[in-house]
């Protein structure tokens, strides 16, 4: 039987690339769509080196309806789509909200229109725990009320969920699963793919690994006066390889026709860790001492959030397979492999 073809927008990105690998390993045929605005061609080499085969890739922008139509026409029998392609820098979204609304909301609408035209009815959407805003109760379940997001980026995720929800109430045949990610970290165990921020990282773990590698001078921890065990923010750090597998089981569930209209799942570990605990886990896992200082709070940060993952565990068979330290170690191995490559190329 021919392998089922899954279109992966943003497939050259951080979570996308790990999902492409997981899809192939599970017997699917992923097709990447990426405009490489926040990625590099070398990611495709990494994927090919892990799999021993390259994944087909269309270099187009998902906002370009004509180009997207060409991809659907060329590929034909696409069984489902995983839509990762989006901008994700919270701070930048505050500075340039229109860029975020146009790209993140616009690309989803364009994609849905093209999916309808080509009768492709299964969509897995990259959402975020940011839709819960500052939650009143922890851990958050899928029933926790969705609130106004703290940033335009967060709001694009909320709006995209609402678009999918509105669509599910019509006679459209499109079904969707929105995966609400907590904080994805770590890298593939081969250290051939991982997080590849262009420029100064805004996320914690790449900032930690770059500081440890001497690329950044010092990590600033954004505030230690929150109402948490040590005063720093609490997050739920989920290994990207575990997160990638959640996409594969979500796709399988959709293709089995088990999704009636739209479903939401939290994907985290169920563990909350402070920023200081994350730093300590890095130091313990790698033996590298990190140069850090405590700075002021970062605007828009949620003090404390972590997931209840009962639903994903029961329905998707989601599992957390690594500890925070193991995830940190994999992020460090990836950083070291980047350094090695840079040295060889110099």
3-state secondary structure of 139: coil
Positions in 257-316 near ligand UD1 (CB under 6 A): 275, 298, 301-302
- CB contact set of 309 (below 8 Å; sequence gap of 6+): 266, 267, 268, 269, 270, 318, 320
Least distance between ligand UD1 and beta carbon 223 (Å): 7
* Residue 144 is a binding residue for ligand UD1 (CB under 6 A): no
Least distance between ligand UD1 and beta carbon 216 (Å): 9
* Catalytic choice (153, 181, 226, 237): 153
- CB contact set of 216 (below 8 Å; sequence gap of 6+): 200, 207, 210
Binding segment (CB under 6 A) for ligand UD1, from list 1-9, 148-156, 245-253, 255-263: 148-156
What does the alpha-carbon distance between residue 334 and residue 331 come to, in Å, rounded to a whole number?
A: 5
Q: Which residue number has the CB closest to ligand UD1?
A: 233
Q: Closest Cα to residue 92, out of 218, 210, 201? A: 201
* Active-site residue flag, 153: yes
Strand spans (E) along the chain: 5-9, 29-33, 57-58, 78-83, 122-128, 175-181, 183-185, 219-222, 234-235, 237-239, 262-267, 273-274, 292-295
Contact 115, 123 (CB under 8 A): yes
Per-residue interface string for the shown chain with ligand UD1, residues 51-90, x marking contact by CB under 6 A:
-------------------------------------x-x
Q: Site for ligand UD1 (CB under 6 A): which residue of 17, 103, 128, 155?
A: 128
Positions in 213-232 near ligand UD1 (CB under 6 A): 219-222
Site residues (vs ligand UD1, CB under 6 A): 88, 90, 128-130, 150-151, 154, 183, 202-204, 207, 219-222, 233, 235, 275, 298, 301-302
Q: Which residues are catalytic?
A: 153
């Amino acid at each position: 039987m021919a392998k089922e073809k899954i279109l992966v927008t943003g497939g050259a990105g951080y979570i996308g690339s790990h999902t492409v690998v997981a899809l192939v390993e599970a017997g699917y045929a992923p097709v990447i769509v990426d405009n490489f605005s926040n990625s590099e061609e070398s990611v495709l080499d990494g994927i090919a080196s892990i799999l021993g085969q390259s994944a087909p890739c269309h270099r187009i922008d998902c906002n370009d309806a004509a180009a997207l139509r060409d991809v659907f026409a060329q590929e034909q029998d696409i069984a489902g789509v995983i839509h990762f392609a989006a901008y994700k820098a919270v701070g930048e979204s505050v500075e340039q909200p229109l860029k975020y609304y146009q790209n993140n909301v616009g690309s989803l609408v364009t994609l849905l229109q093209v999916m309808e035209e080509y009768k492709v009815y299964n969509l897995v959407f990259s959402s975020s725990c940011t839709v819960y805003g500052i939650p009143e109760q922890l851990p958050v379940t899928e029933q926790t009320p969705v609130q106004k997001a703290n940033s335009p980026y967060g709001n694009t995720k909320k709006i995209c969920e609402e678009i999918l929800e509105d669509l599910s109430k019509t006679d459209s045949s499109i079904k969707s699963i929105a995966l609400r990610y907590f904080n994805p970290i770590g890298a593939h165990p081969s250290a051939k793919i991982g997080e590849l921020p262009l420029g100064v990282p805004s996320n914690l773990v790449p900032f930690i690994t770059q500081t440890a590698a001497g690329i950044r001078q010092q990590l600033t921890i954004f505030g230690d006066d929150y109402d948490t065990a040590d005063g720093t923010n609490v997050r739920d750090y989920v290994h990207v390889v575990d997160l990638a597998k959640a996409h594969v089981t979500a796709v399988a569930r959709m293709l089995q026709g088990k999704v009636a209209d739209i479903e939401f799942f939290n994907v985290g570990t169920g563990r909350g860790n402070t920023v200081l605990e994350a730093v300590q886990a890095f130091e313990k896992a790698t033996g590298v001492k990190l140069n850090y200082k405590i700075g002021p709070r970062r605007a828009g940060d949620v003090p404390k959030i972590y997931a209840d993952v009962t639903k994903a565990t029961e329905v998707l068979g989601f599992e957390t397979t690594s500890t925070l330290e193991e995830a940190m170690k994999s992020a460090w191995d990836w950083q070291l492999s980047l350094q090695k490559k840079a040295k060889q190329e110099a």
